[in-house]
Structure 1
Amino acid sequence: MPLSSLLGFAGVALVVVLAPGPDTFLALRYALNRPRNGVVAALGMMVSIMGWAILAGVGVAALLLKYPAIHQGIAIVGGAYLLYLGLGSLIKAQFLARSTAATARTTTRNIALTDEIFTLGQSLRAGVLSSALNPKLGLLFLALMPPFIPAGSPMLASALILGGIFAAMGFSYMMILVAIAARAMAWFKSPSVGIWLERVSSGALAIMGAVVLIGAFI
């Protein structure tokens, strides 16, 4: 592939990667539980990103143009999933906030809040589903990627190269977020800070889910 195509797609990918989105908040949420959970969640996201790249390479974009209901279905399921994650965590945060201040200061409460451990399997599954059901990523790969593939180039191989570029950039950015979260763990283990952080991240996921759902019907 010509260097101009690679650099052009990398520029688009950089904008998408740096824009706050569901994947960003999900990676932070799992990283604040345990840094390695954030790493595994990010790996799950990259698996789905490469899946989107493969779909673009085999020509699924044309199928979605012909049957837009498929894309709408992905958006509806993705929005509902984000809404479920966000509201579920928000309800948990509200429940913890109602605990007495004395109980919230105990070691038991601290552990219950910050060390209610997600398994690596849960983290991986959440990352895979987050990116697999993200309609914006679908739009990026299925609609915006093909123009960066020169005529005559092998579609699947080119799509995998571009997908690899996006995955490498996305994973690097996620690792920066995970590193920041790991260094700030001591501060985040404060019960009051942890509850507010859970509220903010959960609320952001719920809002994004609602926006995706509304967008699917407009």
Structure 2
Amino acid sequence: MLSSSLLGFAGVALVVVLAPGPDTFLALRYALNRPRNGIAAALGMMTSIMGWAALAGLGVAALLQTYPAIHQGIALVGGAYLLYLGIGSLIKAQFLARAAAATARTTTRSATASATEYTFFQSVRAGMISAALNPKLGLLFLALMPQFIPVGSNMLGSAMLLGGIFALMGFAYLSLLTAIAARAMAWFKSPTVGIWLEGVSSAALAIMGAVVFIGAFR
């Protein structure tokens, strides 16, 4: 591939990666639960991103142009999934807030957070599903990516290369976010602050889910 194509796509990918979105808040939500879970969620997202890249290389964009209802269906399911994650986590955060208020001030957060502990596999799965059902990622790879692949190049190989660039940039950014979240939690060392941060990230997920869901009807 031409270096100009790689640099052009890298620039677009950087803007998309740095823009706050559902995947960003999902990784942050799981990182607040446990730092390694944030990394696991990011790994799951990058796995789905490579899947989107493979679909772009196989020419699925033409299928979506012929059947736009497929893209709308992805947006509906993706929005509903984010709503499910956000509202469910928000309810748990409120439950923990009430439990923390009822305990002594010396009680640590770990004593009240057991109800929201996630396994590594659960975090990976959540990240994979979120990225797989993110309609904006679908549009990026299926509609925009082919424009950066020179005529005559191997479509699948070029798409996987560009997808790898995006995945590396995305994983590096989300890993940095996870590290910042972990340091913030260690610095605050307050059950109330920790639960408040979890509630905020969960609410952001729910709001973005609603936006994606409603946008599917436009």
Structure 1 length as normaliser, TM-score?
0.95
Compute the displacement of 1:39 (Å). Answer: 1.0
Structure 2: any 5+ residue segments left out of the alignment?
none
**Structure 1 position 120 matched with structure 2 position 132:** no
1:38, CA displacement in angstroms? 1.1
C-alpha distance in 2 between matches for 1:2 and 1:82: 37
**2:217 match:** 217
For residue 142 of structure 2, what is the aligned residue in structure 1?
A: 142
Counterpart residue number, 1:5: 5
* 1:75 counterpart residue number: 75
Runs of at least 5 residues in structure 1 that lack an aligned partner in the other structure: none
Distance 1:188 1:130, change over 3 A: farther
Alignment map for 1:1-218 (pairs within 5 Å): 1-99=1-99, 101-103=101-103, 105-107=105-107, 110-113=110-113, 116-218=116-218
Instruction: Single out whichever of 116-125 and 47-56 deviates more from structure 2.
Output: 116-125
Q: In the aligned structure 1, how far is the partner of 2:112 from the partner of 2:96?
A: 9
Measured after TM superposition, the shift of residue 179 of structure 1 is 1.3
> Following superposition, which runs of at least 4 residues in structure 1 exceed 6 angstroms of deviation?
none
* Deviation sequence 1:102-152 (CA, Å, 0-9, x none): 516343654322784211110110010010010000000000000000111
Return the letter of the residue paired with 2:112: A
- Give CA-to-partner distance per residue, 1:147-194, whole Å, 9 cap, x none: 000111110000001000000100110111111122222245412102
Is the Cα–Cα contact under 8 Å of residues 33 and 115 in structure 1 kept in the other structure? no
Letter in 2 for 1:172: A
Q: In the TM superposition, what whole-angstrom CA distance separates every residue of 1:12-53 from its partner, at most 9, and x where no partner exists?
A: 000000000111111111112211111111110000000000
Shift of the 78–205 alpha-carbon distance from structure 1 to 2, 3 Å rule, reads: same
Cα RMSD of the aligned pairs, angstroms, is 1.6
Judging changes above 3 Å, is the alpha-carbon distance between structure 1 residues 104 and 54 closer, same or farther for their aligned structure 2 residues?
farther
State, as a whole percentage, how many aligned pairs show the same letter.
79
Which stretch of structure 1 is more off in the superposition, 144-153 or 33-42?
A: 33-42
Mapped partners of 1:69, 1:128: distance in 2: 22
Q: Residue 179 and residue 109 in structure 1: after superposition, are their counterparts in 2 closer, same or farther (change >3 A)?
A: closer
Three-state SS of the structure 1 residue aligned to 2:113 is: helix
Q: Is the 8 A contact 2:52 2:142 kept in 1?
A: yes
